[in-house]
Amino acid sequence: MSESLNPNQNAPLLQKLAARLGTPFWLYDDAEMRRRIADVKALTSAPGLQARYAMKASPSKRILKEMKKNGLWIDAVSANECFRAEQAGFATGSHPPEILYTADVFRGDWQKAILKDGVLPNIGSPGMVGDLAKEGYKGPLALRINVGFGHGHVNACDTGGPSSKHGIWWEDVSGTIAAAKSAGMPIVMLHAHVGSGPKQQELRDNLKRLIGVFAGLSGSFPDLQAISVGGGLPWNYRQPETLDVPALAAILADGQKELSKTAGREIRLEIEPGRYYVASSCTLVTQVTDLKKTRSNEKGTGVEFIMVDAGFTDLVRPAMYGSYHRITIPARVDRPTEPFCVAGPLCESGDVFTRGADEMLEPRALPRAERGDLMCLHDAGAYGYAMSSHYNSLGRAPQVWVEEDGSIFLMSRRETLADLTAVETDEALHV
């Protein structure tokens, strides 16, 4: 978070926004996002390297436009994500393709996205060649491969290995290659995303495995233009730190050279991070509504709760994965800390932001808050708003964008009850 928008030093701005928009709200810092984009650009500055943005992390128009402005391409995972990318200005039908559509399942309106709009389908299941063929598709294809191992920040975020549903098992790709060939679909990309949070060694392992698949079946890929090692550049939520750009850039540049040498021609190497670009640029701002205590008894140890008006309908990561987000109370930074749990408004016991990896409550050292104080949940930009929901009939909170020059924009307004019920009908279905 830039100094200009460090929420801990900007209590008056937070107060003004809270007075105008109510709480909770999401606050994005353009300058911080640009710095993280610059890190990824520095990783991929050598020839033959290209970065995409895995837009599932935060798909709002303003963010997509920022990515486009910076020359990034897109990894989309649904037809609607493809359409959003198109609306934000990403090219369709381009060579190489700016929009990659990574799917394990084609659902709903996928045909239009693939067939009419010329995005590159990245199929993660053998039968999808048949799905495409049935629609008369004869365009280029990417194959998502399960390389046999995964490295997520929690098991739920591993995207490779025997228990992962993603991709086509690396030793079994030849059947899919043959099916694609007879359907007239040239394979232009091999792709594997091993999870959110791989270390340098795991990135190397992934690259080595993909090069191995390519070399082992080399005659099978006359049309190959690119290999993608997926996303997963880690963000340290406890102790913000930026990437080791020189080390990672060297791994990628060396990998691209080895790949091209193996192929005997230039092959592009791609990465497609999501989290790293956007995590640190956004703070979820919520309001303290009360403090209350439980007492210890034979069933367990009592805790003191700071109650706030944001819940896991806003930021689900702590409830879902036990994820850690730094918490600050800008108006109380001078107070000594005591152990508190922070809990939200939902009628569900899991609505607690201070959790450990084992999903147990984990009291946090925080200053004693007072009712009405604003609280910041930091590094909430990736899989924050994108995973928010309507549970308990709550509308999603507004998103606010602060430009480097200090100008402020409302990216999305607070959802109302009318937004939530707009899809409800009494239509009779005569089937």
Beta-strand pair 327-328/268-271:
unpaired
Nearest distance, CB of residue 204 and ligand LLP, angstroms? 17
Footprint of ligand LLP on 35-54 (CB under 6 A): 54
C-alpha–C-alpha distance, residues 307 and 201, integer Å: 42
Using rule CB under 6 A, residue 75 touches ligand LLP: yes
Do residues 210 and 147 lie in contact, with contact meaning Cβ atoms separated by under 8 Å? yes
Indicate which single residue of 7, 118, 160, 232 sits in contact with ligand LLP (rule: CB under 6 A): 232
48 φ/ψ angles, rounded to the nearest 5 degrees: 85, 5
* List 282, 341, 347, 376, catalytic entry: 347
Closest CA to 412 of 384, 372, 374, 377: 384
Beta-sheet pairing, 327-328 with 374-377: antiparallel
Q: Which two tokens stand for residue 108?
A: 């709903």
Using CB under 6 A as the binding rule, the residues of this chain from 295 to 334 that contact ligand LLP are 317
Among the listed ranges 83-91, 236-244, 268-276, 390-398, the one in contact with ligand LLP (CB under 6 A) is 268-276
374 vs 382, beta carbon nearer ligand LLP: 382
Choose the stretch contacting ligand LLP; rule: CB under 6 A; options: 104-112, 180-188, 225-233, 337-345: 225-233
CB of 196 vs ligand LLP, minimal distance in Å: 3
Query: Which residue, 187 or 382, is less far from ligand LLP as judged by CB?
Result: 382
Reported in sequence order, the residue ranges of 22-130 that DSSP labels E, i.e. its strands, are: 25-29, 49-54, 73-76, 99-103, 120-123
Nearer Cβ to ligand LLP (288/319): 319
Binding mask 124-163 for ligand LLP (x = CB under 6 A): ---------------------------------x-x----
How far apart are CB 423 and ligand LLP at their closest, in Å? 25
Pick one of 32, 39, 272, 362: the residue that binds ligand LLP (CB under 6 A).
Answer: 272
Cis peptide before 96 (omega within 30 of 0): yes
Applying CB under 6 A, does 32 fall inside the site for ligand LLP? no
The yes or no reply on residue 274 touching ligand LLP (CB under 6 A) is yes
Nearer to ligand LLP, 243 or 374 (CB): 243
CB 33 within 8 A of CB 277: yes
* 233 counts as binding ligand LLP under rule CB under 6 A: yes
Contacts for 167 with CB less than 8 Å, ≥ 6 apart:
104, 124, 144, 145, 146, 147, 159, 160, 191, 192
The count of residues interacting with ligand LLP (CB under 6 A) is: 20
Which residues from 93-122 bind ligand LLP, rule CB under 6 A?
A: 102
Q: Measured from the CB of residue 274, what is the shortest distance to ligand LLP in angstroms?
A: 3
Residue type (1 letter), 136: G
The CA distances from residue 374 to 106, 194, 293, 307, in Å, are 43, 38, 20, 11
Residue 347: active-site member: yes
Enumerate the β-bridge partners of residue 376.
Answer: 285, 328
CB 320 within 8 A of CB 328: no
Report the catalytic residues.
347
Which residues would be at the binding site for ligand LLP (CB under 6 A)? 54, 57, 75, 102, 157, 159, 193, 196, 230-233, 272-276, 317, 382-383
